Each structure stands twice: as structure tokens, then as C-alpha cells.
Chains A and B, each alone.
Chain A
């Protein structure tokens, strides 16, 4: 009897610990913009952030028709992007800016549930409060779409959302973007775009066994977790894009063409459609930053 009681107590303490460690931790109110966002500026944030790549309705070309439904196949199961249109029932029409900021930067739904990190909030947490508010203002100008996307298809234990609180303890540090005092403004702008809204590392940095990015492999590519093929190394190493000039990198983001005039394929084609919408100065900044990161050889 005594042993059973002790086991119950230990179990309860364990449960309480799990509960505390996995609690959603929203943004401080001070980290959310209090001014109205500018939808015109938000349009650029939208394309810098690549929102359409996952949230646009598949098999149609309008990047602003956000019905969701894109399936991202991963080793953990299949994630399905939800409706991001301002539809009151199917999309985000009832959300506040604070709801949106917490989704983008803390991976928390308005009802407090954790989002899976297939939604790249570990990158978006670096975005400025102004960019988040501008993006939100832009999304509210888009056409409401009625489609309700299907749910994710995940096996145990990945289907237990609460457990994501533990994952976030490891990989969501909550830090905003910090410019490098030694870098030029152009390189800093590129660093912000690559590591914040552009979320380049979500594919180009390889992940560990539980799906966290490996900082020692920053932007060095690796096997494609979605299936066959590989994600290119985009560090300035001979294995990566060391031979590319800054203007070749910037042109590749605008046109999809490598210096040899091969054409990007796969999911990078959608990235190019987004990057082509940015001002040339932003593509040049990304190029300048990519030339400045530590060169890393391909992993064997």
C-alpha cells in the first residue's frame, strides 16, 4: 500500500513537471507592436517570409489565395498547412495581432496549443515587431477563403502536441535578431532576411534526430528529409556556393538560374517566385550575407 502511494506521488510530481515544462510561453506584451501595421510594407514581408509556399491553395497560381492544404512530408509524419486567409471560420479572421504574433514567434495558437515547428517559428521569432504587425495588416487585406485544410497525419509520440513544449525548451530561445556590430548594414540586412523571415536554414541547415536545427551545420545543406535528393550547401565553401559571385547569387534568387544556367527546381522554385518580389537591394543583401557566413564542407 505504501509503495503504491509513493509511486503515485512520484508519478504526480512527474506529471506536474511535464505540465510545467511544456506550458505555452507567450510573448511579453512589450514585444508586440502597438501601432497599426502598414499593409503595403507587409506585402514585402509576406514574400520575404515565403508564406505562400506552404499556405497558398495547391495547384493554382495565385500566391495570395491562402486556403492551405499543402502537405509537407517529414520523417515525423505529414504536416498539412492550414488556411491563413482572413476567413472568420476557416482562417484567421477572428485573430488579434497578439494572437498572430504569438503564433509567428512563439508557435502558440490562440487557444494555447503548441504549433509544430514545421511552421518555422524558430526563424520567425527573430523578426521585428514592426514586420509582424505589417505582415498581419497585409494578410487582413487578402481574400477570405472558405476551404478548411485537413489535419496533420502524425504517429505517436509526435501526435501529442503538449510534448512540443519540451522541444521548444531546446530550440526556441526567444531572442530577437541581433545585428553583428562588426558587419556592414547590408550584411546585417541579409542576415535578418536569411535567419528571420526568409527562414532559409529551415531547409538548408540539417536537423538532429528530434528535428532541431544543428547550429554547427548552419546553411551547409544535407540529405533532403522530404525524400530523395539533397538540400544544397549554401555556405561559401567549394562544396557550396563558394564559386558564385554576390551578383550571381542575387540573380539566382531573382531568376532561378545558377551561374551555369541550370534552373532551380523542387521547393526552391517557389522560393524564387517569392524572392523575385523583393527589392533588388534585399536580394543583394542576402547574397552579401551568404558570402560572409563560415564556409562548411558537405557532411559525409
Chain B
């Protein structure tokens, strides 16, 4: 394993630890707005590492790809629960009011992210071409959900 890949694994490992930690509110800060922001940072780290492989800036490693998709899937699984009533403000949240006024639409968007990340893990991509397709499928969720439910401050 070369240096860039070692870094990739280290980043992914810390990302998945972060994702796992924040998914258990009992042992973390209990402000859902903070938890969901941390979770999105984990997804961002996994996405950044994946994009480096897709763009050819880092060599493809099937284990790293698997880990990145697992981080995304783990985040998607717990994400919807971190928007309870009462967490509309605070912690400089960028959550848009539509999350609560259009709850069914938001839940459907999160479910799609969960389903897409689960689909590309069965089985996990074995080569770069398969990973590129998986990356395309899961990351189109980012923009489409942010388009409706996130406001930039």
C-alpha cells in the first residue's frame, strides 16, 4: 500500500469512527443539529476520498471504496432521526424550514440516499469502473437533497 492510500484509509477510518460515534447520541453531544453536521462531515470526507480515486488522483483500492460507501450508508441510516421537531434552529443550522413543512419529501430523499448506498454495497464495487458508477449513483443525492432542504448561510 502506498502513502496516499494509507492516508485514504486513515481518513476513512476516522470518518467512520466519527459517523459511528455521532449515531449513538447517548455518548455524544445531544444537540441533533450538531450531530447531523458531524455526520455530514463524515459523508464529505468519504466523498472526498472517493472522488480522488474516481478522478485518478489516488489509486483505486477496493477496501477503501468499500469503507467510503459504508460511511455514507451508515450516515444515511441514522440521518433522518436527527431532525426532530424543535431542532429547526440553533447550532448555526443550515437546515431549511421545508424539512419540517415537507417532511414526507425530506424522508423520501433520505430514504433514497439510504437505498442507493445500500444498493451499491451489494456487492461492493470490485474495480474502478464499478466504483465510478456507484459513486455517480450515490452522489447525485447530495445536490438533489441540498437543492430543496439546505440553505447556505
Contact assessment for A261 and B152 in the assembled complex, using a CB-CB cutoff below 8 Å: no
Interface residues in chain B, defined as those with a beta carbon under 8 Å from any beta carbon in chain A:
40, 44-45, 47-48, 51, 55, 94, 139, 142-147, 149-153
CB of A263 within 8 A of chain B?
A: yes
Contact assessment for B47 and A269 in the assembled complex, using a CB-CB cutoff below 8 Å: no
| Interchain Cβ contacts within 8 Å, total number | 57
Shortest Cβ distance from residue B84 to the other chain A in the assembled complex, whole angstroms = 21
The 7 closest A-B pairs by CB, nearest first: A265-B146, A263-B142, A269-B147, A261-B48, A229-B151, A261-B44, A265-B150
CB < 8 Å: which of B55, B143, B151, B153 contacts A263? B143
Contact assessment for B142 and A228 in the assembled complex, using a CB-CB cutoff below 8 Å: no
Contact assessment for B153 and A256 in the assembled complex, using a CB-CB cutoff below 8 Å: no
Complex alpha-carbon distance, A267 and B143, angstroms: 10
Contact assessment for B151 and A256 in the assembled complex, using a CB-CB cutoff below 8 Å: no
Q: Which residues of chain A are within 8 angstroms of B47 by Cβ–Cβ distance? A: 257, 261, 263
Task: Give chain A's interface secondary structure class.
Answer: loop
CB of A225 within 8 A of chain B?
A: no
CB of A279 within 8 A of chain B?
A: no
Task: Give chain B's interface secondary structure class.
Answer: helix
Interface residues in chain A, defined as those with a beta carbon under 8 Å from any beta carbon in chain B:
228-230, 232, 251, 255-257, 260-267, 269-270, 272-273
Contact assessment for A266 and B146 in the assembled complex, using a CB-CB cutoff below 8 Å: yes
Contact assessment for A265 and B48 in the assembled complex, using a CB-CB cutoff below 8 Å: no
Q: Which residues of chain A are within 8 angstroms of B151 by Cβ–Cβ distance? A: 228-229, 265-266
Shortest Cβ distance from residue A51 to the other chain B in the assembled complex, whole angstroms = 18
> A229-B151, A229-B152 in contact; A261/B146 too (CB < 8 A)?
no
What would be 8 A-B contacts, judged by CB atoms less than 8 Å apart? Answer: A229-B152, A230-B152, A261-B47, A263-B139, A263-B143, A265-B146, A266-B146, A266-B151
Residue of chain B at shortest CB distance from A270: B147
Contact assessment for A260 and B48 in the assembled complex, using a CB-CB cutoff below 8 Å: yes
- Given pairs A228-B151, A261-B44, 4 additional interface contacts (CB within 8 A): A260-B44, A261-B48, A264-B143, A265-B149
Shortest Cβ distance from residue A79 to the other chain B in the assembled complex, whole angstroms = 19
Which of B51, B144, B147, B153 has the most A CB atoms < 10 Å from its CB? B147
Complex alpha-carbon distance, A263 and B100, angstroms: 21
Contact assessment for A265 and B147 in the assembled complex, using a CB-CB cutoff below 8 Å: yes
Complex alpha-carbon distance, A255 and B47, angstroms: 11
Contact assessment for A266 and B44 in the assembled complex, using a CB-CB cutoff below 8 Å: no
Contact assessment for B153 and A266 in the assembled complex, using a CB-CB cutoff below 8 Å: no
> A229-B152, A229-B153 in contact; A257/B147 too (CB < 8 A)?
no
Contact assessment for A232 and B146 in the assembled complex, using a CB-CB cutoff below 8 Å: no
CB < 8 Å: which of B45, B139, B152 contacts A266? B152
CB < 8 Å: which of A228, A262, A270 contacts B44? A262
Contact assessment for A264 and B48 in the assembled complex, using a CB-CB cutoff below 8 Å: no
Q: Which residues of chain B are within 8 angstroms of A230 by Cβ–Cβ distance? A: 152-153
> A229-B151, A255-B139 in contact; A269/B144 too (CB < 8 A)?
yes
Shortest Cβ distance from residue B11 to the other chain A in the assembled complex, whole angstroms = 11
Which of A251, A265, A267 has the most B CB atoms < 10 Å from its CB? A265
Contact assessment for A256 and B143 in the assembled complex, using a CB-CB cutoff below 8 Å: yes
Complex alpha-carbon distance, A217 and B57, angstroms: 36
Q: Which residues of chain A are within 8 angstroms of B147 by Cβ–Cβ distance? A: 265-267, 269-270
CB < 8 Å: which of B44, B45, B55, B143 contacts A265? B143
Q: Which residues of chain B are within 8 angstroms of A266 by Cβ–Cβ distance? A: 146-147, 150-152
Contact assessment for A232 and B51 in the assembled complex, using a CB-CB cutoff below 8 Å: no
Contact assessment for B143 and A232 in the assembled complex, using a CB-CB cutoff below 8 Å: no
Shortest Cβ distance from residue A15 to the other chain B in the assembled complex, whole angstroms = 45
Residue of chain A at shortest CB distance from B48: A261
Complex alpha-carbon distance, A263 and B51, angstroms: 13
Q: Which residues of chain B are within 8 angstroms of A229 by Cβ–Cβ distance? A: 94, 151-153
Complex alpha-carbon distance, A264 and B151, angstroms: 10
Shortest Cβ distance from residue A239 to the other chain B in the assembled complex, whole angstroms = 14
Complex alpha-carbon distance, A256 and B149, angstroms: 15
Shortest Cβ distance from residue A230 to the other chain B in the assembled complex, whole angstroms = 6
CB < 8 Å: which of B45, B51, B149 contacts A257? B51
CB < 8 Å: which of A255, A261, A263, A273 contacts B45? A261
Shortest Cβ distance from residue B14 to the other chain A in the assembled complex, whole angstroms = 14
